[in-house]
Amino acid sequence: MSQINILIQPHGGQLIDCYLQGKDRENALNKASKLPHLMLSPRNIADLECIATGVYSPLDGFVDETEYYSIVKDMRLNNGLAWSIPVTLQVSEDYANQYPLDSEIALVHPNGEILAVMTVTSKFKPDQALEAKMVYGTTEDAHPGVQAMVKEGEVYLGGPVKMVNPIPQTDFLNHRLTPEDTRVEFARREWNTVVAFQTRNPIHRAHEYITKIALEVVDGLFINPLVGQTKSDDIPANVRMQCYQVLMERYYPQNRVCLGVFPAAMRYAGPREAIMHAIARQNYGCTHFIIGRDHAGVGDYYGTYDAQYIFDEFSEDELKITPLKFEHAFYCTRNQSMATAKTSPSSKEERIHLSGTKVRQMLRNGQTPPPEFSRPEVAEILVSSMKLATV
């Protein structure tokens, strides 16, 4: 156990675990069957899993009104601790009366299984336009994060949750590692410093390049792809996982890389989401976090490096995890290798820029990404998946 103690402390100092055990669980489960039921959306379920397992420590439930406004306006919890996006449970105004203030409700999976009991300590109707502007940087409905936020409902319920059943999962079971799991695994591997890499795309050559640079200065790499809800045109998580696994097997040292899924839903909140992602990785036990070009961005809503600049708004005391900021990597035809503007003297014409968007465009057009974009094994998986999707 002494090895675990050398790892970075969770955000706020303690990992949250919302799961009830033994008699407490039995009693809560019996009570829950008689409580008002609230059917959870996919985003709710993703948030609930992150809260319950400590990924979103120190949150122990959906945020109340005081915390909500503190986060939206100041990017901090009411106690001053850094937090950038409110994790909310929303319901339609038409159904809000079913969930009274100062009562308990049962949170239910779409399959009908009761997952948790929540004490409703807060019930309010915020200014969603303000939330959109502050969190997403826009009020446009075209923004997928704004669109998802509005769709969830106008009335917000806040309060702590107690889990009575695990969230049903059927995929990536060997890679669904909780922060407790990863901390034990990192300690077993004797990794004192760990860099996390967040992705919702297959790892292309630019990603591989920056992760390997990061590996030069830390003990281990935690590839932690987001597998919660994403945009419909993003590459499906099961396809991406195949890509990550083949890359790890063939192009990374086995003893220095670990793969575990990040169950969160994607919000596309750019800079604010970069902070949230960093905090989550600190809770997993990571000491460093890669921040590249337009982290968690979408369209043209954010500046190219806004997700890096936002870290300057927090002190080292507020965020213990260290951001590793990388410029946009490209394939340099002069050097015949990956590079950035910091390392290559090449002209614009000698640079092949890589991005997940470009790869998706090529696949939709029936093109195989060239080796400057993707490793051949990854390209093969992507092309095969696209063919199956169009059959």
The Cα–Cα gap between 41 and 154 comes to 14
The Cα–Cα gap between 30 and 169 comes to 23
Q: HEC profile for 353-367? A: ECCHHHHHHHHHCCC
Under 8 Å CB-to-CB from 314, ≥6 apart: which residues?
82, 275
Q: What is the structure's pLDDT at 366?
A: 80
Q: Which of 352, 328, 348, 351 is nearest to 340 (CA)?
A: 328
Number of Cα atoms under 13 Å in the Cβ half of residue 11: 33
Give yes or no for residue 1 having a pLDDT over 50.
no
Residues labelled catalytic = 200-201
Q: Is 121 exposed, middle or buried (0-12, 13-18, 19+ CB in 10 A)?
A: middle
Q: What is the structure's pLDDT at 2?
A: 38
The secondary structure of 32-88 as a DSSP string is: HTTSPEEEPPHHHHHHHHHHHTTTTTT--EE--HHHHHHHHHHSB-TTS-B--S---
Class of the 173-390 domain? Answer: alpha beta
79-124 residue pLDDT tens: 999 999 999 999 999 999 999 999 999 999 999 999 999 999 999 9
Angle at 114 between CA 113 and CA 115, to 5 degrees: 110
Tokens encoding 141: 């409905």
To which CATH superfamily is domain 4-163 assigned?
Answer: Sulfate adenylyltransferase (3.10.400.10)
Tokens encoding 244: 């990550």
φ, ψ of residue 40 to 5 degrees: the values are -85, 145
Give yes or no for residue 217 having a pLDDT over 80.
yes
Least confident of 11-15, 176-180, 194-198, 365-369: 365-369
Bridge partners, 289 (sequence order):
196, 323
For residue 152, give the 3-state DSSP assignment. helix
Tokens encoding 129: 């336009």
Using the 8-state DSSP alphabet, how is residue 330 labeled? E
Tell me the domain boundaries of the chain. 4-163, 173-390
Bridge partners, 339 (sequence order):
330
The share of the chain scoring above pLDDT 70, in percent, equals 97
118-158 residue pLDDT tens: 999 999 999 999 999 999 999 999 999 999 999 999 999 99
| More confident site: 58 or 371 | 58
